[in-house]
């Protein structure tokens, strides 16, 4: 089950990076506003993927450091950490993208 979560997070990182790359390398002289609207979504996907990967690895390391005595609390800590990172970093990434678009008047 951990491998599937890892692959989904890795897919979010790759897709978010590709969307951000497509927005940043717009070949037109005047940037396409429809393409620029994708930047907040791409940044949110990128931040969520990195946050989930970081929380999975960090909480796995913490669980190994504490030993196997943690039991059910270890699983709930991983789920809670992933939930917080998805919500918090998704909102942060989206707001950074919107702020950039607003600053450049798109």
Show the tokens assigned to 93.
């990434």
Residue 50, token pair as written in the block: 């990195």
Residue found by looking up tokens 């089950």 in the block: 1
Spell out the residues 6+ positions from residue 16 whose beta carbon is closer than 8 angstroms to its own.
Answer: 42, 43, 44, 45, 46, 47, 48, 49
pLDDT tens track of the chain, all 106 residues? 667 878 888 999 999 999 999 888 877 767 777 788 888 999 999 999 998 888 878 777 777 777 666 566 666 777 777 788 788 899 999 999 999 888 876 5
Both tokens assigned to 60: 């796995």
Specify the 3-state DSSP secondary structure of 1: coil
């Amino acid at each position: 089950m951990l491998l599937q979560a890892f692959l989904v997070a890795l897919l979010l990182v790759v897709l978010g990076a590709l969307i951000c790359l497509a927005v940043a390398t717009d070949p037109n002289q005047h940037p396409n506003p429809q393409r620029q609207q994708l930047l907040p979504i791409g940044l949110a996907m990128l931040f969520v993927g990195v946050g989930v990967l970081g929380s999975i690895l960090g909480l796995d390391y913490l669980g190994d450091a504490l030993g196997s005595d943690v039991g059910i609390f270890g699983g709930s800590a991983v789920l809670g950490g992933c939930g917080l990172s998805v919500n918090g970093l998704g909102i942060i990434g989206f707001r950074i993208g919107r702020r950039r678009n607003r600053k450049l008047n798109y």
